[in-house]
Structure 1
Amino acid sequence: MTRPSPERRSAYPYLRAIPTRWMDNDVYGHVNNVTYYSYFDTVVNGYLIEQGALDIASSAVIGLVVETQCNYFKPLAFPDTVTAGLRVAHRGTSSVRYEIGIFRGDDESASAQGHFVHVYVDRASGKPVALPLPLQQALALLAPR
Structure 2
Amino acid sequence: MPSTPDRSVPTRADYVHWRTITTRWRDDDAYGHLNNATYYEFFDTAVNAYLFEATGTNVRLLPQIGVVAETSCRYLREIGFPEPVEVGLVVDKVGTSSIVYRIGLFQGAGDEAAAEGRFVHVYVDNLDPARPVTPMPEAIREAVTKLLR
TM-score range, shorter chain: over 0.9
Whole-angstrom CA distance in 2 between matches of 1:139 and 1:103:
22
1:95 aligns with 2:95: no
Out of 60, 66, 70, the position equivalent to 2:69 is: 66
Percent sequence identity over aligned pairs: 42
- Residue 94 of structure 2 contacts residue 145 of structure 2 at CA under 8 Å; is this kept in 1? no
1:36 aligns with 2:39: yes
Query: Which position in structure 1 is the counterpart of 2:146?
Result: 141
Aligned residues: 144
- Residue 104 of structure 1 contacts residue 111 of structure 1 at CA under 8 Å; is this kept in 2? yes
1:105 aligns with 2:108: yes
Please list every run of 5 or more consecutive structure 1 residues that lacks an aligned counterpart in the other structure.
Answer: none
Residue 53 and residue 87 in structure 1: after superposition, are their counterparts in 2 closer, same or farther (change >3 A)? farther
1:119 aligns with 2:122: yes
Residue 96 and residue 57 in structure 1: after superposition, are their counterparts in 2 closer, same or farther (change >3 A)? closer
Q: Offset of 1:140 from its aligned partner?
A: 1.1
1:5 aligns with 2:8: yes
What is the TM-score when the length of structure 2 is the normalising length?
Answer: 0.91
Query: Which position in structure 1 is the counterpart of 2:80?
Result: 77
Residue 54 and residue 120 in structure 1: after superposition, are their counterparts in 2 closer, same or farther (change >3 A)? farther
Query: How large is the Cα RMSD of the aligned pairs?
Result: 1.4
Q: Offset of 1:2 from its aligned partner?
A: 3.1
Amino acid at match of 2:94: R
Stretch moving more, 66-75 or 47-56: 47-56
Q: Offset of 1:6 from its aligned partner?
A: 1.6
Please list every run of 5 or more consecutive structure 2 residues that lacks an aligned counterpart in the other structure.
Answer: none
Stretch moving more, 32-41 or 105-114: 105-114
Q: Offset of 1:105 from its aligned partner?
A: 2.9
Whole-angstrom CA distance in 2 between matches of 1:129 and 1:54:
19
